[in-house]
Amino acid sequence: MPLISLTDVTAGYSSASRVLTNFNLSIEKGSLTVLFGRSGSGKSTLFRLLTGELKPDSGEVTVADVAVSTLGARALAEYRRSIGIVSSDLKLIDNRTVEENLALSLEIGGMKRPRIDAQLEAVVERFNLQGLQSPYPPDLSMSERQRTAIARAVIKEPLVLFVDEPTAHLDTTASREIAELLAHENLRGMTILIGTSDERFAAALPTAGIVAL
């Protein structure tokens, strides 16, 4: 049974501007999948459906047997705590250091400090953030900010990671580095769904399944 399923989904922001019509998608647990398409093709709409920010006009959106569009406010908040999200709308907190940004979701979840420290040490190493724990986000390069944002999303070992346009504003070298980091997280067993319009970035993920939008 797929981990993520969209069945006959029609969605948009008004009846006159449907972005998806009778759309179907099936993602297996442990997979790495790229949603590839130009701006306006529906990538961000898909992620908003999967995170519960947008309800479909018709059809069903299911993640790990959870019918996302039917969740009430409390259940939706609990669901969102179980997933990882990286998007331009979820920015780093400027008045918290990199380390404080990374630790925030663990602290909110009530994790004990020794385990938080262990998780921090592991994710800092995996995302090449050594020596960057003390600076604040405005002092980071775009590449460092994106690595921090992804590390913040995966530090809690989410059920699935949703990543929307991870290489916007990055050069080719930094984009390739992001691709390698995401591929490594997938090799660790994480299910990852990426939306991109960057052909070079998609090509840097040769093991990914490609869904054209």
Provide DSSP, 39-82.
TTSSHHHHHHHHTTSS--SEEEEEETTEEGGG--HHHHHHHHHT
Which pLDDT value is given to residue 67? 97
Helix or strand or coil: residue 35?
strand
Task: Give the whole-angstrom CA distance, residue 45 versus residue 35.
Answer: 12
Which pLDDT value is given to residue 14? 67
Task: Give the whole-angstrom CA distance, residue 143 versus residue 26.
Answer: 31
**What are 187's two structure tokens?**
């090799």
Helix or strand or coil: residue 130?
coil
Q: Which among 91, 71, 92 is positioned nearest to 80, based on CA atoms? A: 71
**Structural domains of the chain sorted by starting position, each given as residue range(s) with its CATH number in brackets:** 1-83+158-213 (3.40.50.300), 93-157 (no CATH)
Task: Give the whole-angstrom CA distance, residue 36 versus residue 25.
Answer: 13
Residue ranges in the chain modelled with pLDDT below 50 = none
